[in-house]
Copies of this chain bind each other. A is one copy, B any other.
């Protein structure tokens, strides 16, 4: 189908001599494939995915072969490869894709990514990324203002995701209280303990393991039935740790937990952190967007008392992946924690103000430009546009909650209006409805319902939603809404689809 590209080969593209025409032609062909994909993404009559098992794709589909070889392919085949890569993938921007915390396809954000990759530069110095470095500084300041730190003062950096942002928070907390660990290692500190909710994201535990604390020194806090940390449990566990002679260092309060969308009570946790002189981190990777909503930001009440905050615009705010910020109240501490002053990169004798060379704050060296798409979206929407998006998503999740909470065949995992867009529920097929809900048989059967419906859903390709068990609770669906394309009719469709696929189980 791209046979007219036959006359050009990859080696005829720029920088080849007279390569301009072939280059532009090739890129326009590609853009045609991409815009077709975008069109279809928003078209409800197309599937969300066309599922194939790994072995099927590995064996190779018609005209599409994943194997790499010694010899070059033609541009014609490259375009076919591009088309087929999209064809066998998942349309995460489809109005009926609800599978992850990051969904949707923002056109301005996409434009930002296309430009970013065309500029193809690196955040480590002002020298080679002057505009992007300044955009990052201004945007981080705006985010700190929204957190409520005076005049937006403080520090921060964009990192390759929420797990790394959370890891930063643990590193700087350690550096704040035990700066010698940077040079002497963990033996320069007593046994340090981190606290986080049993509902919190697993990245806190990963950070504990990676940074040398040990995952056993990450103490999990009990939660109420809505998944929120119980402050008295935190204090009891701090006292227990102190009694053992260990040092309680750090508390992570989750603002928008992964499964329940729960917001821990930040103010009460902050009181305890002050009392015991501990670092307070707020993991708002998922919830962060709510800071932009006058209606919902009260759920973050107390966040201005945090020492650090993770906030992923690539989740609730619909910014393309990757876009995650770690924000820090104390200026200079990120750099103190991480700087190694590499002479080849951070020359002090440049002609410009080298305080704009921010790379040495990072644990990375090269750092991808994650800021531009976000900055551009902010320009295009205004703060007010993000607010509208967030309020709409929360309204939709409340619509879903109201729709199913008393509906036959549904049971809510927890009661009450969701704090975030997470709606967690079981679908009970008719064959299970009469059974004793406490029996082992019922539990075992119910545990298999969500995986079975999900498998059928993926095979029919009509919609996607996640499921998981949690603690003693068997597999349930977790619906999340961050997709700006989703409407009430898509929520209705999801419920119809669950019933269609699950009715006979």
Contacts and interface: CB of A to CB of B under 8 A. Distances in A.
Nearest to A469: B343
A451 B354 CA distance: 13
Interface residues of A, number: 166
Contacts of A484: 15
B344 A183 contact: no
A420 to B, nearest CB: 14
A89 B10 contact: no
B142 A68 contact: yes
Given A27-B35, A451-B350, A364 B164 contact: yes
10 contacts: A73-B380, A75-B380, A89-B119, A90-B128, A92-B128, A122-B321, A167-B363, A182-B215, A344-B470, A351-B458
A472 interface: no
A53 interface: yes
B376 A68 contact: no
Interface string A121-136: 1100011111110110
Interface stretch (A37-45, A247-255, A271-279, A432-440): A37-45
What 9 A-B pairs have minimum CB-CB distances, sorted nearest first? A212-B212, A185-B214, A113-B117, A15-B485, A351-B455, A160-B160, A186-B186, A10-B380, A186-B212
Contact of A114 (B114, B127, B217, B356): B114
A448 B350 CA distance: 10
A72 B186 contact: no
Contacts of A312: 366
Given A34-B114, A201-B365, 11 more contacts: A13-B108, A23-B38, A28-B35, A37-B118, A73-B379, A89-B119, A90-B128, A160-B160, A182-B215, A185-B213, A187-B187
A16 to B, nearest CB: 9
A171 interface: yes
Contacts of A186: 185-187, 212, 214
A62 interface: no
A448 B348 CA distance: 12
Contacts of A343: 468-470
A206 interface: yes
B448 A71 contact: no
Interface centre among A183, A210, A345 (most CB of B within 10 A): A210
A131 B380 contact: no
B347 A107 contact: no
With a 10 A CB-CB cut-off, give which of A82, A95, A132, A372 has the most chain B CB atoms.
Answer: A82
Given A161-B366, A340-B202, A365-B161, A382 B121 contact: no
A381 interface: yes
A376 B64 CA distance: 12
A342 B217 contact: no
A417 interface: no
Nearest to A362: B163
Contacts of A202: 340, 342, 365
Interface stretch (A98-106, A300-308, A402-410, A495-503): A98-106
Interface in A430-471: 448, 451, 454-455, 458-459, 464, 466-470
Given A108-B13, A131-B57, A85 B115 contact: yes
A244 to B, nearest CB: 14
A380 B90 contact: no
A344 B10 contact: no
